Amino acid sequence: MLHGKRILLIIGGGIAAYKSLLLIRLLRGAGAAVTPVMTRAAGEFVTPLSVAALAGEKVYDALFDLTDEAEMGHIQLSRVADLIVVAPATANLMAQAATGQARDLATTLLLATDTPVLMAPAMNVRMWQHPATQRNLATLRADGVDFVGPDDGDMACGEFGPGRLAEPEDILAAITARLADGPLRGRHVIVTSGPTHEPIDPVRYIANRSSGAQGTAIARALVGLGARVTFVTGPADVPPPDSVALVRVQTARQMHDAVMQALPADACVMAAAVADWHVANAGTQKIKKTKDGLPTLAFAENPDILAAVSVQGPQRPRLVVGFAAETQDVLANATAKRARKGCDWIVANDVSDGTGIMGGTENAVTLITETGTEAWPRMDKAAVARRLAQKLAGALA
């Protein structure tokens, strides 16, 4: 995904600095080269040795290192990269960058560079909310700096709120979205995938046979075309793709909330096999076998995520794609589903016994659009995904 790309990673001094180690591993795994730069304070949280070992390159940490100045001056260092990533970006680093200070190698690089900069802030919630930091954020944004995070959550300092470093996977997704070339560059696509698990009690659940293979392949193909993908997945059998913003959920209701939170998006591809119902009287304790008879489960309807996203309004993605897994009258049912759900396209397939499609590696789909139907030959799920991603890119062009 990031082959041939070089990231200059500036690691600021904060408790979240340890997550930069994972980020380096993810970046290397995605094919990027990483030039690490550490502030003096970062060295209090992670060792240059671990950073260098994971990056496979030397760590730059001093401005007046004569050897480096001879080998590669700070101006050059700041310009050989395709992207400068600051993670964690502390309040102090943001303040210095916003006011154009050049006190050490990291801030000098930020001042000297003409390379795009992506910052992943991490700090105490009060520091983040302080008007000074918010001013600095606005200044940096106006200067063209991009941001990923911070997330909400429990913080190492014991407080709760915005200020947590974005997860390394999300930082990678943001980096990929900026660097990957392709027709979907700069586009945000939400993909749902996998089954949902609807609890009966804390140890039992209702599920379905979806493996998540098709949704995962679609997300991968979209990333391959340069899209920024939010991948909302139920408990799937296959591992999630790299370079996506990953949201793991269990139930349909959680999937609905995650999708709504991920909006706005340019397109939405709903490949998840969402349970239609959840157990309304799910036990809070494990339901016991008794002599008084069998338990009775009461069902309640789940939100229809596809229909909800398809509702006309300012948040509606330009293209909404649903799936129709049918076991009979595939075309008629899928065509009716397209109208009922209000989505733009339906990818219909026959999942009846004997097709080997549910959980298998191949798929035979018919694409139903406003203008008609297209039957695609049976092919690998990855090939279906690539064809759909190309078609989606065409529609958004």
**C-beta closer to ligand C5P: residue 333 or 361:** 333
Residues 288-307 that bind ligand C5P (CB under 6 A): 302, 304-306
Determine if 24 is a binding residue for ligand C5P (CB under 6 A). no
User: H-helix or E-strand containing 351?
Assistant: none
**C-beta closer to ligand C5P: residue 171 or 272:** 272
Determine if 366 is a binding residue for ligand C5P (CB under 6 A). no
**C-beta closer to ligand C5P: residue 128 or 323:** 323
Residues 187-226 that bind ligand C5P (CB under 6 A): 192
- The DSSP annotation for 64-86 comes to T-HHHHHHS-HHHHHHS-SEEEE
Residues 134-193 that bind ligand C5P (CB under 6 A): 192
Q: Which of 132, 138, 157, 300 is catalytic?
A: 157
Determine if 324 is a binding residue for ligand C5P (CB under 6 A). yes
Determine if 323 is a binding residue for ligand C5P (CB under 6 A). yes
Cβ count near 171 (within 10 Å)? 26
What are 73's two structure tokens?
Answer: 């001056």
- The 8-class DSSP code of residue 150 comes to P
String of contacts with ligand C5P for each residue 231-260, x by CB under 6 A = ---------------------x--------
- Between the two ends of the chain, the Cα-to-Cα distance in Å is 21
**C-beta closer to ligand C5P: residue 231 or 323:** 323
Strands (E), 93-244: 117-121, 146-147, 151-154, 160-164, 188-193, 198-199, 205-206, 228-233
Determine if 267 is a binding residue for ligand C5P (CB under 6 A). no
Per the annotation, the verdict on 343 as an active-site residue is no
User: H-helix or E-strand containing 319?
Assistant: strand 319-326
**C-beta closer to ligand C5P: residue 39 or 302:** 302
| Contact region with ligand C5P (CB under 6 A), list: 14-22, 34-42, 110-118, 317-325 | 317-325
Q: Please choose, from the candidates 75, 65, 142, the residue with its C-alpha nearest in 3D space to the C-alpha of residue 113.
A: 75
Q: Please choose, from the candidates 201, 336, 208, the residue with its C-alpha nearest in 3D space to the C-alpha of residue 279.
A: 201
Three-point CA angle 39, 41, 44, nearest 5°: 120
The rounded distance, in Å, linking the Cα atoms of 91 and 128 is 7
Question: Where in the sequence numbering do the catalytic residues fall?
Answer: 157
Residues that bind ligand C5P (CB under 6 A): 192, 252, 270, 272, 274, 276, 302, 304-306, 322-324, 337
